[in-house]
Amino acid sequence: MKPEIFRTKSFVEDAAAFIESASKADIEQHGSFRIALSGGNTPRPVYQSLAVRDCRWSKWIITFSDERCVPPDSPESNYRMASESLLMFTNPGEILRLQGELAPEVAADRYEEILQSYASRPGEKRYVHDLVLLGLGDDGHTASLFPGTAALEEKDRNVVSNFVPKFNTSRLTFTFPLINSARRVVFLVNDEKKEPVIQKVLAGGHGLPAERVKPENGELIWFLGKS
């Protein structure tokens, strides 16, 4: 399926409105909204805009598409960024935090079990997100699926720890099988300096990790900010 691309001067508002609308439709349809929050800097204003909207937060089930291996109160923590901008103001129904404070393999195994238990409830083979948010790095990484790292080849698990040589540290990350099982995958990119890598990913054939985001039965959507 071809991606749907929204280039917008109202990046924050348009992305937040899209997420709000998706949540209302999904809660109406099946009683919950299963969303994976992305990390880094781009999503923060989108989460702040979401936080003041009238969503049925008690029906939201929050996961995280990746996490740094740090405690939740670390300035590096994606969970902390989401808490400061969204979670502490909205009190979502369930927050499934990646425990960055644990040994990476232990945290990944625990999250794998949690996602499998949540998937088994409706009889899913693999947890199906209603919406997975992703960012894009200059090197074409997404989540913590960096070029040349082992997690790129994971075909079975939903979540793994992934050693990233460029940072000389491990990260916790969704795998492509989990990402590509989502009903919607949305890239949020609000940096015109990333246009060259965006074009490469959209064109394909450059061997960049983000090129492998191809939802099996879901929609692929890009929100791209423009000045």
Q: Where does this chain bind ligand 6PG (CB under 6 A)? A: 38-42, 66, 78, 135-137, 141-144
DSSP state of 145: B
- Residue 143 beta carbon to ligand 6PG: minimum distance, rounded to whole angstroms: 5
- Residue 110 beta carbon to ligand 6PG: minimum distance, rounded to whole angstroms: 19
Q: Which C-beta is closer to ligand 6PG: that of 22 or that of 46?
A: 46
> Which amino acid, one-letter code, is at 168?
N
Contacts of 37 (CB under 8 A, 6+ apart): 43, 47, 62, 63, 64, 65, 78, 82, 86, 133
- Residue 172 beta carbon to ligand 6PG: minimum distance, rounded to whole angstroms: 9
As a whole number of angstroms, the distance between CA 34 and CA 174 comes to 15
Q: Which C-beta is closer to ligand 6PG: that of 32 or that of 42?
A: 42
Q: Which C-beta is closer to ligand 6PG: that of 32 or that of 180?
A: 180
- Residue 77 beta carbon to ligand 6PG: minimum distance, rounded to whole angstroms: 9
Q: Which C-beta is closer to ligand 6PG: that of 27 or that of 152?
A: 152
With CB atoms as reference, the residue minimizing the distance to ligand 6PG is: 135
Q: Which C-beta is closer to ligand 6PG: that of 3 or that of 40?
A: 40
Classify 139 as helix, strand or coil.
Answer: coil
148 alpha-carbon distance from chain centroid: 20
Reading the block at residue 21, the tokens are 């609308």
- Residue 50 beta carbon to ligand 6PG: minimum distance, rounded to whole angstroms: 16
User: 118 with 111: CB under 8 angstroms?
Assistant: no
Q: Dihedrals φ, ψ of 70, to 5°?
A: -140, 165
User: 131 with 144: CB under 8 angstroms?
Assistant: no
